[in-house]
Structure 1
Amino acid sequence: MNVTHEIQLLVQEINRLGSKNADGQTSVKFGVLFNDDQCANIFEALVGTLKAAKKKKVVNFQGELLLQGVHDNVDIILLQE
């Protein structure tokens, strides 16, 4: 699967699982995304897709790399739909 397509799928999943924050942006906790069955079936490497999406300024989150368990409460903010 190509990166652009994976990022598009990620945007759809963030919209499905997330909610609007105070700034009107859609955000979702990493743990919610990571533990969702549908996301697990779509993404072989969720962390890699998130990193690529951050590099392309589609999403933003605190830190460089997110790890399951440790970073479950980190907000992933959708910057572009």
Structure 2
Amino acid sequence: MDTEHEVDLLIEEIRRLGSTGADGKIRVKFGVLFADDKCANLFEALVGTLRAAKRKKKISFAGELLLQGVHDDVDIVLETD
């Protein structure tokens, strides 16, 4: 699995599904990303891809691990343009 490619795809999906916040950064709720059909087909392990993107400082979100249902309202913020 090419992690860099997966992270790039994730960034594209965040741009597609997200909206620009007051700070000018694009953000999307975890629940929206998780429930999207295209994302479900693209990412075999969405949570793993999110963690990899966070480690690379491409995105940010509260906490270390996001779980469906529990963290649906957590913002995932795109940190790069």
User: Into which bin does the TM-score normalised by the smaller protein fall?
Assistant: over 0.9
Give, in whole Å, the separation in 2 of the partners of 1:27 and 1:60.
Answer: 9
* AA of the residue aligned to 1:36: D
Give, in whole Å, the separation in 1 of the partners of 2:5 and 2:26.
Answer: 20
Counterpart residue number, 1:51: 51
Sequence identity, in percent?
A: 67
Shift of 1:57: 0.1
Counterpart residue number, 1:68: 68
Shift of 1:42: 0.1
Gaps of at least 5 residues in structure 2 are: none
TM-score (norm 1): 0.99
Two-structure CA RMSD over aligned residues (Å):
0.5
* AA of the residue aligned to 2:52: A
Gaps of at least 5 residues in structure 1 are: none
TM-score (norm 2): 0.99
Counterpart residue number, 1:38: 38
Counterpart residue number, 1:15: 15
Shift of 1:78: 0.1
